[in-house]
A and B are shown apart, each in its own frame.
Chain A
Amino acid sequence: MNVGVIVFPGSNCDHDAYHVVRHVAGFPARFIWHKETALGDVDLVIVPGGFSYGDYLRAGAVARFSPIMSRVTAFARNGGLVLGICNGFQVLCEAGLLPGALLRNADLRFVCRWVHLRAERTDTPFTGAMKPGQVIRVPVAHGEGNYFASDATLDRLERDGRTVFRYCDEAGAPTRRANPNGSSRNIAGIINREGNVLGMMPHPERCAESVLGGVDGMLVFRSLMAWAAARHLPAQHAAA
């Protein structure tokens, strides 16, 4: 599976995503500069975390106008896999690939800490390696991660099973205390109706190696590896 990592000016988790994909998961990977007008031969696009264009206006609001984003949108509409992490989730919402918006954290402060997530869907390309209801431990780091959507949208997301991750406590209960940013209904990650575009605020790429204090993030990448293997996409990178 060929992976493209989008680089906006101000992206700062681009190298982290690339590192995990290329050196830990072992996929062929390359950076795609925001001014490029074609994605090239990729099976998965990662829109990484960071502060695209400084996020001075509203997180992700400027990035969505980058030349590459129209290609990402077309790619997604054709069924290509897109994973938006943190700022990438914000960009995907701004670009209309996912519903809702990420507001400033309820306490108006940036928050960086480990949280627990409950995996509510395990039949997606991103979560196949997880068990239904599995609780995973993953870091968050954001100032605008407070997921918001209208009640009707939230009801629809829940009805359609599109809330892939919810903030929860160690036992898996989505309590108010376990919610680091005030997100509606503790939502930490959602998927589009077609099941090929996932946006999540927590950072799986930050916990894919034991030296970093946790490996649960690797479940996302292992899911993608299994998904790719089932479709006979080029698997291991030669140099991995």
Chain B
Amino acid sequence: MHNTSQSQELVVSEALALEHGLTAEEYGWIYEHLGRTPTWTELGIYSVMWSEHCSYKNSISVLKTLPRDGEVMLVGAGDENAGLVDIGDGLAVAFKIESHNHPSAVEPYQGAATGVGGIHRDIFTMGARPVCALNSLRFGPLTSPRVRYLFDGVVRGIGDYGNSFGVPTVGGEVYFDPAYEGNPLVNAMSVGLVKVGRTSSATAASVGNTIFIVGSATGRDGIHGATFASEELSEESEARRPSVQVGDPFTEKLLLEATLEAIRAGVVAGIQDMGAAGLTCSSCEMSAKAGVGMHLNLDLVPVREPRMSAYEMMLSESQERMLISCAPGREADLGAIFGKWELHAVAIGHVTGSGRVTVEHQGRMVADVEAEHLVLGGGAPVYKREARRPAYLDAVRAAPIPPDVEPGQVAGSLRALLAAPNIASKRWVYEQYDTMVRTGTAQGPGTGDAALVRLKGSRKALAVTTDCNGRYVYLDPRRGGQIAVAEAARNVVCSGARPLAITNCLNFGNPYKPEVFWTFKEAVAGMGEACRALGTPVTGGNVSFYNENPEGAVFPTPTIGMLGLVDDLDAHGTGAAFVATGDLVVLLTPGAWAWCTSVAALGGSEYLATVHGMTAGSAPHLDLREEVAVQAALLRLIRAGLVRSAHDVSDGGMAVCLAEKAIFSGGHLGARVDVSAPATCRLDALLFAEAQSRIIFTTESRAWPAVEAALSGMGVRAQVIGRVWEGAFEIAVAGETVIKEAVPNLQAIYDHAIAKTLGIPSAAD
């Protein structure tokens, strides 16, 4: 790491620019625009602003194809730090998901912790108070000691930061696959609440305003984090450990309270958090947004270490800092508010009319750059990368599917699936998170398809979930992208909510590889199609490229964070668990759905992966019109008070869906299910295939006529397949029993599989 003081400023050359991750062509544009050789500090500023992480230069042309408008949108994608959605009653929700993959790969604890801190700052910098968090995690197989170290560190990092910060972690997902070995994915989501009209904006606002840096002092941590995020991991990545920031949730908690108090008091004209590229990104983006300039004097910046250079101060990613453009005449009030919370609030500059960010340090002008030339939508480069369909697609689709499971092996396959880390309970993970602080969590992790967070003083609740099956996207990027959105919406609907909007975190490999870029384009196209069909606009998110290790790219993983709204929590809030003995078990499918789909139905299934060790076939069946019909039908039933529990058929297929409904009941309730499929059907496809748009719900038996009446003409099919009882978990196919297991036994397998794999005695043992 460069820690040269100002007097030893490096001489800028094209070679140094290349070292900073810029291309020769980009360096040429910078030289041309400045009309001179950039200073070392300016080169640093350009390199981070034009990194993929800040500029989206390789992705923006594709992202623009996503639907970004809708009647619920108050602030659109890219306009502010996060999207803003109207939920009625004068309230709005700000929410966003973001990756912290590369930091977590080399320093899992701090990498994950600062990912959580960063995404919360994106929310409260808008004036919204975070009310819940989710996270979507992907690792290699738990059999690898390195993976176990990463998994443990990431979970501790998320827990320690979020628990102390005081925002509940209410949901998320954890997947394991060899494709993520060496390059784990750590995506963190925050959801905040704000009164409409009380939000703040990431703008420098007006010429003459004083610029304050608030929060923590600036240190040497995290320098070039944004650039680090924009290159592939390699053997040398370990040396990037100093690029990982260090989190301080206590300071973040103080910063949250002080920031919200300052915004409420009207002393904030504009504000942006300092995440990637710290002072550089916040000053340039706030200036460009207002069409103004900014002068900064770095000698005034509170620092943790002596002799920091201008380059280091501009690029530091020290956490828990904000840049504020102060409302004129309110400087003393701003100081008093942050002083109460024992935080720095130091005037370091002012807004100018020049359109340029000028930086002085130790009496010298070290940077003088045009804000607009640096930012996305301004002078930052935009590339259309070459896309080429990858050859692996033909190979995986041609792979022969093994013969059908024997009836005697069905129960064993179910047990194996319940013990598979992708399906098994994530209790070991989420019990390390405070899932209940703020007393809003009406449905936390573990027993429902989406988390439900009540809104105090209202009948409403937020429904939130994250979803993506990377294996599907790998096998068919377009349909996989559609399914990620469709499943997220289905989960929200199963919990009793209307889907409103999504945020997304697009985790892909190196975009300069045409095959990788093709998967990116296809997946985004699929997401867009599903968002349009379901009426859920994209409110923003984040792109994370270069998720590769020496073996190749990770599964293309466009993680979807979905927001839904429950209008009446008491009446509509719905869990997944069986509720009462005697209830009917009903399979809801598209009208055209048939039991006997072809053997191709097994494609991409957890069954193939767990039982046969195969990632093969194509993504499972999805037709967006069918999906829309099924979701509308379930929501109608829930609102009519006809649904006792609902759970969508996803990983592990119908058998796992049913088993989970029994397990979630606390092991008290089982079911007797008889699937009256023709004898020619493959058993494994029937029970374990993952065709989309299917939901299993339960209803009181006397409500059945009302269910049938409500669904008439909706283009869906509802079949009673069984009954809840206090006995065992039984599935028969055409009258022949293939599964008969005591529910507590299934529960024991499901609950303890992950702790067992880790070799940790489960707390409940």
Contacts and interface: CB of A to CB of B under 8 A. Distances in A.
Interface of A: 9-10, 12-13, 15-16, 19-20, 23, 49-51, 53-56, 107, 109-113, 139, 141, 143, 177, 180, 203, 205-206, 209, 211-213
A112 B432 contact: yes
A54 B249 contact: yes
B393 interface: no
B341 interface: yes
Contacts of A54: 164, 248-251
9 closest residue pairs by CB, A with B: A12-B166, A54-B250, A51-B164, A16-B439, A141-B434, A110-B432, A112-B434, A211-B442, A206-B436
A73 to B, nearest CB: 23
A106 B435 CA distance: 21
A148 B163 CA distance: 23
Given A139-B436, A212-B441, 4 more contacts: A12-B253, A13-B437, A55-B164, A143-B160
B32 interface: no
Contacts of B433: 110, 112
Contact of A110 (B160, B254, B342, B436): B160
B159 interface: yes
B158 to A, nearest CB: 10
B250 A212 contact: no
Contacts of B702: none
B456 interface: yes
17 contacts: A12-B164, A12-B253, A13-B166, A13-B437, A16-B438, A54-B248, A56-B250, A107-B763, A110-B159, A111-B431, A141-B434, A141-B436, A206-B437, A211-B442, A211-B454, A211-B570, A212-B436
Nearest to B155: A109
A112 B169 CA distance: 11
Nearest to A106: B763
Contacts of B763: 107, 111, 180
A15 B256 CA distance: 15
A143 B431 contact: no
Given A10-B164, A19-B439, A143-B163, A53 B250 contact: yes
Contact of B436 (A107, A112, A180): A112
A59 to B, nearest CB: 11
Contacts of B437: 12-13, 16, 49, 141, 206
Interface in B133-192: 156, 159-160, 163-166
A10 B438 contact: no
A49 B437 CA distance: 9
Contacts of B438: 12, 15-16
Contacts of A109: 156, 432
A177 B441 CA distance: 26
Contacts of A112: 163, 430-436
A139 to B, nearest CB: 6
Contact of A12 (B165, B432, B570, B764): B165
Contacts of B569: 211
A177 B763 CA distance: 7
Contacts of A19: 439, 456
Contacts of A206: 436-437, 439
For the residues of A in contact with B, the DSSP-based class is mixed
Contacts of A213: 442
A205 B164 contact: no
Nearest to B461: A211
Contacts of B342: 9
A211 B249 CA distance: 29
Contact of A10 (B160, B250, B434, B441): B250
Q: Which of B160, B163, B430, B442 has the most CB of A within 10 A?
A: B163
Nearest to A113: B431
Contacts of A141: 163, 434-437
B329 to A, nearest CB: 27
Contacts of A49: 437
Q: Which of B163, B435, B439 has the most CB of A within 10 A?
A: B439
A160 B665 CA distance: 41
Contacts of B456: 19, 23
Contact of A50 (B166, B439, B442, B454): B166
B249 A51 contact: yes
Nearest to B164: A51
A196 B336 CA distance: 38
B436 A9 contact: no
A9 B765 CA distance: 37
A211 B572 CA distance: 12
B439 A51 contact: no
A141 B159 CA distance: 11
A59 B437 CA distance: 18
A150 B433 CA distance: 31
Q: Which of A13, A50, A112, A177 has the most CB of B within 10 A?
A: A112
A10 B433 CA distance: 17
A11 B183 CA distance: 36
Interface in B313-350: 341-342
A205 B253 contact: no
Contacts of B160: 110, 143
A212 B573 CA distance: 12
Given A139-B436, A177-B764, A211-B570, A10 B431 contact: no
Contacts of A13: 166, 437
Interface in B420-460: 430-439, 441-442, 454, 456
